[in-house]
Amino acid sequence: ERIAGGDAVLLPGFVDLHTHLREPGREDTETIASGSAAAALGGYTAVFAMANTDPVADNSTVTDNVYRTGREVGLVDVHPVGAVTVGLGGKQLAEMGMMAAGAAKVKMFSDDGKCVDDPLLMRRALEYAKGLDVLIAQHAEEPRLTVGAVAHEGPTASRLGLAGWPRAAEESIVVRDALLARDAGTRVHICHASTEGTVELVKWAKAQGISITAEVTPHHLLLTDARLESYDPVNKVNPPLREERDTAALRRGLADGTIDCVATDHAPHAAQEKCCEFSVARPGMLGLETALSIVVETMVTPGLLDWRGVAKVMSERPAQIVGLTDQGRPIAVGEPANLTLVDAAASWTVRAADLASLSGNTPYADMTLPATIRATVLRGAVTAHEGAVRR
């Protein structure tokens, strides 16, 4: 098959270390099939599906099912993430070894969705992970510092009475787990870094030789808590949108390699979970289909990253962090390729109803964004072309 490249930019297929597909359990908001379509349209060739499904992905029956369904859909490689504990935020370590040894060969374990509340449990998880050579991804919220279920903090949030998740709740876990990873001699990955302080702490930990990596979401690079003025629950997310000094620090950190990669934290929710009062709305935003455009807007256009840098933060580094050998690297002649072809000069207007996701909770509705995905190629087969998926 021939695809006209023209003046498009050819990149390695994107790798998302943080995607919420809602299968099993909430197939009304996203399925592995609909999420895979959204991923392919966003230029992704691999996604890591977070464990906070229902039932929770805390055993190899669930992780192997997610993996097999992803292969059947065939639009993107779906790598299930295992839960660190039995149940979300549970009191007992999950049998990580069995998930790692299963068909899915689980490479990453996370407490995303509900933080493990017990430092000793996290210490044991890191020690167990070392023996298995798997990655622990840390949702980074100290729940005892967070007010209720309302996850916001900042000048607008405070004035509107929406305060909840302070910087210290994130940063104290970053420090704690950097030190635990140091002592266990293992790796730890910080999910959705959102504060200036987290960037400084990750930089400090790396300078100590600690094996720590971190991701930032597109929305934390672009949006601030000023968006909360509207009380629109679409802006409710974990961790909360913060301030300009944070978006600035996150952009600088991503440019200088302190923050390793971009991860979407694609979090689909039903309309009825996002239309209610702010305090009871579910946290989370869509991300797969808009990620590249937001990275262009926040990093490429201001001159903080060139296209080589985009390849690094969207594909190479995430593939390395999790040990994927078939993604994020140059290919040999004749080898089936994972590629994304980007139309850098194009722009598009986001319409929630046009997205492939089954949910509509994008914070970018009606915004015109730079850059489109012209085509995505998974192992030599076109999975998306000119805004349509190929099945």
- Catalytically active residues are 265
Q: Which residue among 12, 113, 253, 370 contacts ligand NCD (CB under 6 A)?
A: 113
135-174 mask for ligand NCD (x: CB under 6 A)? ----x-----------------------------------
Residue with tokens 């859909």: 73
Q: Is 3 helix (H, G, I), strand (E, B) or coil?
A: coil
In terms of CB distance, is 150 or 237 closer to ligand NCD? 237
User: How many chain residues interact with ligand NCD (CB under 6 A)?
Assistant: 11
Decide: is 139 part of the binding site for Zn ion (CB under 5 A). Answer: yes
286-325 mask for ligand NCD (x: CB under 6 A)? ----------------------------------------
d(CA 121, CA 125): 6
Cis peptide before 24 (omega within 30 of 0): yes
Shortest separation between residue 328's beta carbon and ligand NCD, angstroms: 23
Binding to ligand NCD (CB under 6 A): which residues in 192-251?
237-238
- φ, ψ for residue 341 (rounded to 5)? -105, 120
Decide: is 112 part of the binding site for ligand NCD (CB under 6 A). Answer: yes
Decide: is 189 part of the binding site for ligand NCD (CB under 6 A). Answer: no
Q: Write the CB contacts of 319 (distance below 8 Å, at least 6 apart in sequence).
A: 15, 46, 325, 327, 328, 329
In terms of CB distance, is 184 or 193 closer to ligand NCD? 193
115 binds, among Zn ion, ligand NCD, none (CB under 5 to 8 A by kind): Zn ion
Asked if residue 357 lies in contact with residue 38, where contact means CB atoms within 8 angstroms, the answer is: yes
Q: Write the CB contacts of 195 (distance below 8 Å, at least 6 apart in sequence).
A: 167, 170, 171, 239, 242, 246, 249
Asked if residue 287 lies in contact with residue 265, where contact means CB atoms within 8 angstroms, the answer is: yes
Asked if residue 228 lies in contact with residue 249, where contact means CB atoms within 8 angstroms, the answer is: no
Judged by the rule CB under 6 A, the positions of this chain that interact with ligand NCD are 20, 52, 112-113, 139, 237-238, 265, 267, 283-284
Judged by the rule CB under 5 A, the positions of this chain that interact with Zn ion are 111-112, 115, 138-139, 238, 265
